[in-house]
């Protein structure tokens, strides 16, 4: 499994948090999503087929903006 992190802008409440989580959970290969509305962060765990572009597209379709931050797998 791979983990990736994103910064998400535009989230202001728990509804926003749920909307982002639901949007990302629809992507094939995603196994876990953690959203922190206070920090504006999203962590996604899934298999190698989960493209950052797909995650960003799902977030944008939900009405928010996102930027990918690769996680060092050392």
Query: The domain spanning residue 28 has which CATH number?
Result: 3.30.70.100
Whether 2 has a pLDDT exceeding 60, the answer reads: yes
Residue (of 63, 39, 59, 40) closest to 51 by Cα position: 59
* Tens digits of residue pLDDT in 22-68: 999 999 999 999 999 999 999 999 998 899 999 999 999 999 999 99
* Coil, helix or strand at residue 37: coil
Whether 10 has a pLDDT exceeding 60, the answer reads: yes
By residue range, what is the domain housing residue 7? 2-70
Whether 73 has a pLDDT exceeding 80, the answer reads: no
Sheet holding 2-9, edge to edge: 30-36, 41-46, 2-9, 65-70
CA distance to 28, 51, 54, 64, per residue, from 5 (Å): 17, 12, 13, 15
Residues 8/62, Cβ–Cβ less than 8 Å: no
pLDDT at residue number 49: 85
**Domains in the chain: how many in total?**
1
């Amino acid at each position: 499994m791979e983990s990736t992190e994103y910064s998400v802008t535009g989230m202001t409440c728990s509804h926003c948090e749920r909307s982002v989580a639901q949007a990302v959970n629809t992507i094939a290969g995603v196994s876990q999503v953690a959203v922190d509305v206070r920090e504006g962060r999203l962590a996604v765990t899934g298999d190698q087929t989960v493209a950052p572009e797909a995650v960003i597209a799902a977030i944008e379709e939900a009405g928010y903006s996102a930027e990918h931050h690769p996680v060092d797998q050392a």
